Amino acid sequence: MIGAPVRRQGPTEGETLMDLSRPGRRSWSLPDLDVPPTEVPTEFALEDVPGLPEVSELDLVRHYTRLSQLNYGVDTGVYPLGSCTMKYNPKVAEVTAALPGFQRLHPLQPDHTAQGALELLWVLEQALCEITGMARATLQPPAGACGEETGLLIMRAHHTKRGNPRRKVVIPDSAHGTNPASVRLAGYETVHVPSDARGMVDVSELEKLVDEDVAGLMLTNPNTLGLFEEEIEETARIVHGVGGLLYYDGANLNAILGRCRPGDMGFDIVHINTHKTFATPHGGGGPGAGPVGVTDELARFLPSPMIERDAGSGTFRLEHDRPDSIGRVHGFNGNFAVLVRAYTYVFLHGADGLKALAERAVLNANYLATLVQGTFPPAFEDGRPMHEFVVTAEPLKQRTGVRVMDVAKRLIDLGYHPSTVYFPLIVEEAMMIEPTETETRETLDGFAAALLQAAKEAGSDPELLHQAPVSTPVRRLDEVRAARQLKLHW
């Protein structure tokens, strides 16, 4: 009939694979049986038909392809998540990680049959030490949080060896949430030092807090607000003055690559999130890497085994005989394929390239912050941001009743992944944004325009933002309930 609605071919929005099931259809085929058939033993036989969907191969492929197209990923758009850096992962690193000599390597192979892999890890360790100003490093930790725990256990081993394990670790009030969790996991008590009016560690308050029961201070520089800790040398003097250690959370190392090094600032322990610094994959429960570097004094406590190079033959080996080591923190040599990707990224850029990417990350963040500052003012006006920045939507909330969560949800409708919101906790209606060095000016202009459009709509149609997102397969979820009732219902 002319004018009749045309039904889209394939499944409609929200249909499950079971909805497509039709008796007798199948998406698989098996070769003819070439052995005599036998009956399934009674004890292994199913009493009921499992109820699996019966679909054609074409329906199966289209169903999962459609689902994949609903996903938002770093290959489809910008992830402006402040603190939780999401960089584009270059495809050349995927190629190197898939080379047969790496991909097919067995972790239990004898050292003499894995010289290429061991050399790669050894050279990567040297590079990371050069980048951070450390003496030695372990590549075992499979993620940043494990790197934190490893560093804190090294801190504990150091103090225990000196006859006083100590009880407390100081962290800023703006610290990453993993910091206090790692401190507790390592057996320490957390002590919070407040930020001053500039958004940096209040050095005068720090001096009051530290004593000979403080094992160390966990800090990142630039800090979690994206601001460079200008008094870092004084901070190091205070902590070292009571025999404590300075721990560098490497979340923001990508802002200072080639410009300065944590070791030169006075840090004793550094962990590196390779996904934040060197663009390796992470998230979704998949593999990661969180190498930890230390000063020469602390090297003996690093996890075993360590990769060593024999001076005479030039061959590489895994050294297990390390009596002061804290032991293993992960099986084998960490997540090797992720480390291959990190190696590729480091040596693809070289020293000049790493410095350039840090400069580009800072430039992008400052450019984007300037575009939106009239509507979303900076949380701390005195400091210039580095690779990320924190703004507040508190004025927008006071004027329109629209909260930063509403703005974040509206960005989804406008085609962008939201930034981090409500973090750091010390900023009201916080929006934390990190464009990374990989995004173009056009992308930054588009994201800023979406932010400003959402703010304009908040004044003219606040209900639209309260209901957002309105264009997604799933509307706004009850996130408070989801956080309190961690159950999946099928």
What the block records as the tokens of 418 is 């939201």
Q: Delimit the CATH 3.90.1150.10 region(s) of the chain.
A: 350-484
pLDDT higher than 50, residue 440: yes
pLDDT higher than 60, residue 5: no
0.75 exceeded by the pTM? yes
pLDDT higher than 90, residue 6: no
What the block records as the tokens of 123 is 């050279």
Query: What confidence score (pLDDT) does residue 12 get?
Result: 59
pLDDT higher than 60, residue 222: yes
pLDDT higher than 60, residue 227: yes
Across the chain, what does the average pLDDT equal?
Answer: 93
Summarised one tens digit per residue, pLDDT across range 315-329 is 999 999 999 999 999
DSSP states along 287-299: -----EEE-GGGG
Q: What are 218's strand-pairing partners? A: 247
Summarised one tens digit per residue, pLDDT across range 402-438 is 999 999 999 999 999 999 999 999 999 999 999 999 9
Cα angle 77, 144, 70 (rounded to 5 degrees) comes to 25
DSSP states along 318-370: EE---TT----SSSTTS-HHHHHHHHHHHHHHHHHHHHHHHHHHHHHHHHHHH
User: How sure is the predictor about 8, in pLDDT bands with cuts at 50, 70 and 90?
Assistant: very low
What the block records as the tokens of 205 is 């308050």
What is the rounded average pLDDT of the residues 290-313?
A: 96
Say how far apart CA 86 and CA 276 lie, in whole Å: 7
User: How sure is the predictor about 11, in pLDDT bands with cuts at 50, 70 and 90?
Assistant: low
Amino acid letter, residue 244: G
What the block records as the tokens of 457 is 């709509």
Say how far apart CA 418 and CA 408 lie, in whole Å: 5
Summarised one tens digit per residue, pLDDT across range 74-120 is 889 999 999 889 899 999 999 999 999 999 999 899 999 999 999 99
Residue recorded with tokens 């010390």: 426
User: How sure is the predictor about 179, in pLDDT bands with cuts at 50, 70 and 90?
Assistant: very high
pLDDT higher than 80, residue 2: no
pLDDT higher than 50, residue 4: no
What the block records as the tokens of 186 is 């390592």
Is the model more confident about 318 or about 30?
Answer: 318
Query: What confidence score (pLDDT) does residue 284 get?
Result: 60
User: How sure is the predictor about 285, in pLDDT bands with cuts at 50, 70 and 90?
Assistant: low
Query: What confidence score (pLDDT) does residue 49 get?
Result: 80
User: How sure is the predictor about 1, in pLDDT bands with cuts at 50, 70 and 90?
Assistant: very low
Q: What are 214's strand-pairing partners? A: 168
DSSP states along 26-43: -S---PPP-S---PPPGG
For the ranges 65-74, 233-242, 317-326, 401-410, the lowest mean pLDDT is seen at 65-74
pLDDT higher than 90, residue 456: yes
CATH fold of 91-348 reads: Aspartate Aminotransferase; domain 2 (3.40.640)
pLDDT higher than 70, residue 488: no
User: How sure is the predictor about 15, in pLDDT bands with cuts at 50, 70 and 90?
Assistant: confident
Q: What are 190's strand-pairing partners? A: 169
Q: Delimit the CATH 3.40.640.10 region(s) of the chain.
A: 91-348
What is the rounded average pLDDT of the residues 142-146?
A: 91
CATH number (3.80.30.20, 3.90.1150.10, 3.30.930.10, 1.10.1040.10) of 350-484 reads 3.90.1150.10
